[in-house]
Amino acid sequence: MNEVTPAIVLGGTGYVAGELLRLIAGHPQLEVAAILSDSQPGAPVAGAFAHLRSTYPDLKFSDLDAIEALIRNSPRCALFSAAPHGVAAAIIDRLLTASAAARTRVHCVDISADFRYSNAAAYEAVYKHPHGAPARIHEFICAVPEHLQKSPTPHVAHPGCFATATLLASVPLLALGLTDTRLFVTGITGSTGSGRKPVEGTHHPHRHSDLYSYGALSHRHVPEIIACAKLATGVEPELNFVPHSGPFARGIHVTVQASLKKSIGTPQALDALKSYYKDCPFVHVSDTAPRVKDVATSNYANLSAVTNGNSIAVMSVVDNLNKGAAGGAIQWMNRLLGFAETAGLTAPAPGWT
C-alpha cells in the first residue's frame, strides 16, 4: 500500500509533539496535515521547533475547528494525541464524533494517560479528576506493541516511557514463569520526560551532575504498568518502583529484579529473552549491559540480563521520546493502518548524543 495518509498531531509545542513531527517527516506513508495549538493558531511551527524548520518551513499551527473540518473532509486520517492527560480525552472524543458523523475513517493513538485504564473509576482514582470521555474507553486498548500483536480495538493508548522500559524487561519473566510475581524496579529518566515547561526538576543547574529519586514506591504510573503486564501475561505482578531523575536529556534506564522460581544461569536467561523477542524488530537482547546512548533518539530497545542462581536482574534502555512515546505510537499506527510495522522507524541512534 503506497497511499499517503494525512497525519494530525495534537499536543501543540510539547516535546512529544515535536518528536512526532520529526518522525512523520521520514515516514514513507504518512504526511503531516495539521498540528493543533489552540493558544498559537496561525503561528509558524518552526517557531516552536527550530530544528524542524527545514522540513516544515511553511507549516502553521491549527485550531481545533480547522482540525475537525480536516477530519470531516479526509477519507482517512492518522490521529496522534500528545495532549496532556485530563485534556486529551475530550479533544479526541470531539474529533472521533466528527469523523463518525462524516463517515470518515480515523485511527487514533493516544500518548497521554487518558485511555490507559479499562474504566473511568480506575483513571479517576489515580488522576483525581473526572475522565473526559468515559464512553470512549472501550474503544482503546493499552499495550506495548511487542506484547500485543494485533489491537482488538480501533484505537490504542500507548503506555508511558517508564512503563515501556519496565514492561519490556518484566513481561518475559512473568509470561515464561521464570520468577515470582514480586518485582523490584529502579528507573532513571532524562529531563525531557518531565515535559517542555521548565520546573525545578528539569532546571539545568538542579539536574546537572546530579541523581535523585522521586515518587519512590508511589509513582502514578505503577497501576498502568501492572494493568499492561496483566493484559500481556495473565499475571498481576506486585511492582515496587523507584524512579530517578538523571543528568541527561533523553533516554531511560530501568533495572528489574526478581527471585527466580528455578535456578538458571545467565546464558539461559539471555536465551529466554532472545527467544521471547525473536520476532520483534525493535528489541535487541545482548550479552553486555545496555547503554542509553545506544538507543537515544531511536525506536530501539536494548535489553540484557544476569543471574546469580536465585535472582535475576534485567536491564532495559529506551529513548523516552521515541520508543517510549512518539515512535511507539507510530509503530502502533503502522499496524492499525496496515503498513509495515517498521515504516519510518528504522533510523539508528547517533551514538554520540
Active centre residues (catalytic): 161
Q: Are 30 and 345 in contact (CB under 8 A)?
A: no
What residues have CB less than 8 Å from 225, skipping those under 6 apart?
A: 159, 162, 163, 166, 167, 170, 239, 241
Q: Residue 136 carries which DSSP code? A: G
Which residues on neighbouring strands pair with residue 145, listed in sequence order? none
Which residues on neighbouring strands pair with residue 266, listed in sequence order? none
Length of the chain: 353
Number of helices and strands in the chain (H, E): 10, 13
**How far does CA 80 lie from the centroid of its chain?**
12
Among residues 5, 22, 141, the alpha carbon closest in space to that of 70 is found at: 5
Quote the strand ranges of the chain, DSSP E.
Answer: 5-10, 30-35, 76-81, 105-110, 140-142, 155-157, 182-189, 212-213, 238-245, 252-259, 283-285, 301-307, 311-318
